Structure 1
């Protein structure tokens, strides 16, 4: 969106038509309220950006089908000329006509017409440039079908529009809806506007409304309708014609041509020789290149002739340089309330319930009750939203904050008066940070600059995303974290989304059940976009199939990129291979089973007591966790929780979902431990409230305690190309995948699914053990005395084998001293030596040919509720070639 500059934010309200409550659609579901339909159609209007059009910003839905629209607004309009009774010079008339036609032509290219053109809807900025307001009312109301009032003003409507009469779908006297108005209807309205400017007063202002309509309809019998207009309005026709230049008269003739077939379109008028002297004053509009495109985003940038113009004065209004949607978002955070503003201006008036009783008739025909409530008709008054409260809130923000440096020099900048407060805000809960006006301003500006430098500043995007992501630009931030690049629109357009395929039926059934509590996704436009994005993914991945749950995965991306299907599709296509590789195969049983087995091992690793209880009652992950992981929790959590969860998920690797799953179980831990199988089933059938912020914090902690190789899966995404880790330069232990690391002799070996299921504890690779123990050649470690190891190796070989070479720092508990030949427990290993190591990662080490003893030893520790127990993959044999084993010095 373009900057606010000298514009203001304006709001107007209207009601959508109410639907009967006892009627269902063809699918058996209740009809979608008209206000929801309007809300869905409105979204595309936010993307219509042109210098001649007022930018739409937002729409909100209230009670009783009330809608409030927020848009760019200016106090000055063409109606000011009428109020002053002044005529406009011919040169100014042509200039205004050209600018209006520019806006109309741009709308027509997007398949829209104004239909509500009038003097008070043609606004002017401080420089006198034309800005068309309310141009989207006809589009968002489905050509007036979803409201009880007509779109347009009789004095300005074209004859063919008036001839069609009014129409409402609920009216049984109308069988078919009239055809939507075309671009030529706006040309007639423009002609009337131009005539009023030349005349200095409103057309037909002293004539009754019924007489106006009769007059306009009689124009069909007059070959020169513009002459008749002059005569009927008490203007001396010859004198009036003589006063106007020929080019203005010719423009009026063309605009006020009665027959639509002979009337030109805005595009045709723009190319008319009438505007040869005007068109040269304007440069063609060039749309700003989007972030993900093959075109150069900086091609339109140029330095001013005087570099000093870039310097800002101390009194510069920095807020006005921000985008309109940013300003409105901050206005809401600063306490802005749309309904309160409209109530203060008496646009919204509440009535006692007794005054809103319906009208009813007695047998004798006598009528009682209220007549038609005029408040449900259109009140086109636009209320200006005051920004004083917002500016007062941001008065302490220094000018440097609006232009942050992206390099290390940033730390040497002078700090604002509120810098300490901002530093303290970072430590507050996320939900509080997202509602802090000043904090969000700083974060939005920073992310905006980083994303404009994407992918060059990809590493800094990752760094800042670890702090938090501003909700306003979450969609673009997620795309950057997923590594989206290139011309995504061209790729999306090349996919056939229209040819019927077998999956269409299942998609049609699933969409009406997917996050339909959300107004945007439940709208007809939301369903259409859902269908297109899902179908594009299915068609472009012929080796995969549509599984139920894919719609839930699509929902967050579609919500955040509602007006950019291509970006929603690109994000979804990048997300699935990273976290759900091969989950959507036709036969995905082996992938799912391996995933659930690793998850079971993660539960045992982090919470053995809970794992033991769930296994005892037979409540295995297969019964509850498949929807979690198949939809990455979008099936069980509402969107506002998914946003916070995925902000962190996208920073982690493919194993991070395991930690989220364990964190969810730990929030339900007390109830799970106290219940049996049936109670647990009921508990998960209606999942209790989960504290997402606590879940995120705990999942990060669990992730940091989990060795990388412990979550190794054969069916995870294969390693990426050399030199491309997919995460930018800042890929760390937190974000890099074990699968992406180069495989060596010390790497973990794949296991058959049956063998994996037989093991309670996860395996870790020898390279992981070396890294976590910080071993170095010669058997020493790199730890200082102050640091405590997070890991301890427990060597269960015999004393003789242990003395021939062992891992530095490991302890020896021979298997034969703890367990009998039949596996019976002779003494509990946890009772003595290991008790001091509780809380650390314990690695069971044995020979490779005696791996079953290491597995049994680890399983026993889990049984006695020892946490963080794992097994060294390949045993001590993997460590021998490294030269890192320690041999004790002989006793003298």
Structure 2
């Protein structure tokens, strides 16, 4: 995206054509509104970036199918230059002409035809360089099929354009069916502009449309060249005689009635007339994306002395930021497009009844609704003032535009809370709710600049990106930050392009059925352009993962990535390909029942671990996770929440390991806890049939607390993908609970696969021996780090309950454990029999209770009873106490125990 420089922003409006209310497509569904189709096609125009084009920035729709288009804008145009100076020198004509050709060649190489070229749409910046505007209107409107007005001014239209007649639209598909205008129609308009520069006046400017069309028809019928016809005017002839032979030759090559004989823009660019301009021209450099095999620093150049002096004394640091960034900040600073239009008097409103047909009576008098002229094209561009944004940023120091990153390496890695060391002055803002931070222009300004510099150094700065993402992720850079967190690297475009996405496959039909139902409230994703991208990305994933099959829900997983990386399908595909193995390993197997059942069983254990009362209630009414949680986990909540909530949820989800989605599920149930406890089975089914409102920020915070208070082996799943071991440099500030159990090397003390039937038969999660040891070490470390000299043994981190017989207990047990024999623990009523050990158990309900015993079922049954009695944080030692026989950790308890 080019820098702002001296450019401004401009907004213009037009109306999309409306469909009849009872009109449906071939599939029986209502036709997609033309405004939505335009919105989808517009996104490609945002990727076109060239020094000779006005950059497109944003598009939005309002009521009555009104489209608001924001683009780069300059106050001066070629029309004003001609009106002010009249005829100009040939050297200046050649310079302007060559720059025009540079812009046209770039458009034509990218498959875009201007079709709207005129002196009004050739803007000039402060250095009198050409900036083509309105170059995307023909493309975004599906070549005129989506609007009720013709694209282009009649006096600049090529003969073949006029001969093709009015736009004709296929009623079934809604697409334009007349011959499309080719790039050579722009060459005709280019020739007319050159001729106007030579003459110093506009051609046919004073003629009406009827007279203009009559003149062009005469040219078409005549055997003479249009240039010869123009030279029949003595004034025109004298002006042309004063020009060089090369310039007249270029005019003849452009103004040729036959499109087949007319020159191409690329051929004109190589004409001898522009020899000197070609020598002086600086080659256009395409923007290098984050994930590529190209050397991103190959085009970096040291600033010249003049540039250094200019920048040193310049206070306009905002002008060096990209246009997209400045416009994003402009919106945050209070910019309102509709308010600007209302102030300019351009906010048109239609009358309530605007489709009433006209009809006549005998005497010829006509009644009914006249044509709404608001539907016609209005070339008015309203400049957007940047004063409010600059006022908001007036106190930002110059150093904030160029933050230093190396200072971050000095920050202590063991800090307990996620903070951004690069923005210490924003500490107060960082504590505000996320929705407020995302609308704070000063806060977003600092965060965007910081991330921009970090992403430029990716993957070298991946640890810094990961650390900053723990604070928050600005919406403007979320797509690239997600890719960095998912460790997407390499030639993603080359890999994506190598996959055959066009050949029909057996999954095409199912994909085509699912896409129109996926987040269709989102205007961008409901557009035909998005549907085509959806299909290509999903087909690419299925074809590149032959071990998997397409399951419903894959489209929902794809939606957040595609919405963020709409103009970069390869990046969306790469993110999806990295996301699924991490969180949904084996979920898309043809037979995934074992994987899902294990996942649901572990989820049930987590509910019982953190909220036994809720777990007992849901089990009592038969409302098991199989009835509501499968869409949650199969789509990582993308199917049940709208996209604006999903992006906030996934900002944190992507930082967690494969077990973090389970914690999100528990936090959702806790938000609905009061209602669930009062509901029966039918009410619970109705509650989850339409997902109730969930506070996502609270959900995220609760999920983190649940995640950090759950022993890591409690979420062990045999079907989870073993992750590569992370170092402290890869993931800074890792605590014991934030590490993934699958990251650790396995030993005899580790977890091992558990049969599904056995797993589902237990209410409590299991904990590994090595986890128990590590938890005990953490408790001891907490005591030693205590700032006071008082003993902390009254509040340990864990409580070990040995349920073996007293005889076995006295032969050897783990240190600090208490003995509650399973055979005598419970009364016939199901309550715990009173004893000193039970008193200890009751006094330490908030600690992690680890039930140990032999390899039999006694320990699991004892833990199940504790959960039934409402004890939280109960887990069972995996493989029983025998696993410690060779470790030397079993000791003989004191005689008084």
TM bracket (short chain): over 0.9
- Whether 1:544 and 2:548 are equivalent positions in the alignment is yes
The 8 Å contact of residues 486 and 654 in structure 2, kept in 1 or not, is answered as: yes
1:335-388 Cα distance to aligned partner (Å, 9 max, x none): 11111111211222346647x573431443531234212221111111110010
1:381-433 Cα distance to aligned partner (Å, 9 max, x none): 11110010111111121111111111226999xxxxx9887311111111111
Question: Which residue is equivalent to 2:356?
Answer: 358
Question: Which residue is equivalent to 2:759?
Answer: 756
Question: Which residue is equivalent to 1:500?
Answer: 504
TM-score normalized by structure 2? 0.94
Question: Quick check: 198-207 or 694-703, which moved more?
Answer: 198-207
- Aligned partner of residue 658 in structure 2, secondary structure: coil
Report deviation, 1:763. 0.3
2:750 to 739, 747, 750: 747
Report deviation, 1:735. 4.8
Question: Which residue is equivalent to 1:369?
Answer: 368
- Whether 1:628 and 2:628 are equivalent positions in the alignment is no
1:652 to 646, 649, 656: 656
When residues 484 and 733 of structure 1 are mapped into structure 2, their CA distance, relative to the original with a 3 A threshold, is: farther
- Aligned partner of residue 534 in structure 1, secondary structure: helix
Question: Quick check: 270-279 or 196-205, which moved more?
Answer: 270-279
Question: Which residue is equivalent to 2:833?
Answer: 827
Give the Cα separation in 2 of the matches to 1:819 and 1:419.
58
1:613-634 Cα distance to aligned partner (Å, 9 max, x none): 1111111011111111011111
Report deviation, 1:306. 3.2
When residues 307 and 776 of structure 1 are mapped into structure 2, their CA distance, relative to the original with a 3 A threshold, is: farther
Give the Cα separation in 2 of the matches to 1:236 and 1:875.
102
Question: Which residue is equivalent to 1:49?
Answer: 49
The 8 Å contact of residues 812 and 892 in structure 2, kept in 1 or not, is answered as: yes
When residues 880 and 513 of structure 1 are mapped into structure 2, their CA distance, relative to the original with a 3 A threshold, is: same
When residues 351 and 572 of structure 1 are mapped into structure 2, their CA distance, relative to the original with a 3 A threshold, is: closer
Give the Cα separation in 2 of the matches to 1:30 and 1:828.
70
- Aligned partner of residue 231 in structure 1, secondary structure: coil
- Whether 1:586 and 2:582 are equivalent positions in the alignment is no
Give the Cα separation in 2 of the matches to 1:823 and 1:768.
34
The 8 Å contact of residues 81 and 200 in structure 1, kept in 2 or not, is answered as: no
Give the Cα separation in 2 of the matches to 1:786 and 1:398.
49
The 8 Å contact of residues 37 and 525 in structure 1, kept in 2 or not, is answered as: yes
- Aligned partner of residue 155 in structure 2, secondary structure: coil
Question: Mind listing any 5+ residue stretches in structure 1 that lack a counterpart?
Answer: 413-417
When residues 322 and 735 of structure 1 are mapped into structure 2, their CA distance, relative to the original with a 3 A threshold, is: farther
TM-score normalized by structure 1? 0.94
Question: Which residue is equivalent to 1:490?
Answer: 494
Give the Cα separation in 1 of the matches to 2:880 and 2:310.
67
- Aligned partner of residue 47 in structure 1, secondary structure: coil
Give the Cα separation in 1 of the matches to 2:547 and 2:829.
47
When residues 883 and 780 of structure 1 are mapped into structure 2, their CA distance, relative to the original with a 3 A threshold, is: farther
Give the Cα separation in 1 of the matches to 2:551 and 2:423.
49
- Aligned partner of residue 197 in structure 2, secondary structure: helix
- Aligned partner of residue 396 in structure 1, secondary structure: coil
Report deviation, 1:816. 3.5
- Aligned partner of residue 235 in structure 1, secondary structure: helix
- Whether 1:773 and 2:779 are equivalent positions in the alignment is no
Give the Cα separation in 2 of the matches to 1:35 and 1:175.
14
Report deviation, 1:236. 5.1
Give the Cα separation in 1 of the matches to 2:568 and 2:744.
35
Question: Which residue is equivalent to 2:226?
Answer: 225
Give the Cα separation in 1 of the matches to 2:763 and 2:424.
49
When residues 236 and 564 of structure 1 are mapped into structure 2, their CA distance, relative to the original with a 3 A threshold, is: closer
- Whether 1:321 and 2:320 are equivalent positions in the alignment is yes
Report deviation, 1:802. 3.2
Report deviation, 1:884. 3.1
When residues 63 and 824 of structure 1 are mapped into structure 2, their CA distance, relative to the original with a 3 A threshold, is: closer
When residues 565 and 726 of structure 1 are mapped into structure 2, their CA distance, relative to the original with a 3 A threshold, is: farther
The 8 Å contact of residues 774 and 782 in structure 1, kept in 2 or not, is answered as: no
- Aligned partner of residue 28 in structure 1, secondary structure: coil
When residues 9 and 881 of structure 1 are mapped into structure 2, their CA distance, relative to the original with a 3 A threshold, is: same
The 8 Å contact of residues 652 and 734 in structure 1, kept in 2 or not, is answered as: no
Give the Cα separation in 2 of the matches to 1:381 and 1:20.
29
Give the Cα separation in 2 of the matches to 1:197 and 1:780.
82
The 8 Å contact of residues 851 and 875 in structure 2, kept in 1 or not, is answered as: yes
- Aligned partner of residue 11 in structure 1, secondary structure: strand
Question: Which residue is equivalent to 2:429?
Answer: 425
Question: Which residue is equivalent to 2:418?
Answer: none
Give the Cα separation in 2 of the matches to 1:152 and 1:675.
63
Question: Which residue is equivalent to 1:415?
Answer: none
1:279-310 Cα distance to aligned partner (Å, 9 max, x none): 10102212121110000111100213439818
2:531 to 519, 527, 534: 527
1:145-185 Cα distance to aligned partner (Å, 9 max, x none): 1111111111111111112122242899x998321111111
The 8 Å contact of residues 246 and 272 in structure 2, kept in 1 or not, is answered as: no
1:800-856 Cα distance to aligned partner (Å, 9 max, x none): 433443333322223343148x99666168952211111111100112x33x11111
Question: Which residue is equivalent to 1:870?
Answer: 875
When residues 885 and 117 of structure 1 are mapped into structure 2, their CA distance, relative to the original with a 3 A threshold, is: same
Question: Quick check: 115-124 or 787-796, which moved more?
Answer: 787-796
Count the aligned residue pairs.
877
Question: Quick check: 421-430 or 136-145, which moved more?
Answer: 421-430
Question: Quick check: 599-608 or 418-427, which moved more?
Answer: 418-427
Question: Which residue is equivalent to 1:109?
Answer: 109
Question: Which residue is equivalent to 1:690?
Answer: 694
Question: Which residue is equivalent to 2:441?
Answer: 437
When residues 404 and 307 of structure 1 are mapped into structure 2, their CA distance, relative to the original with a 3 A threshold, is: farther
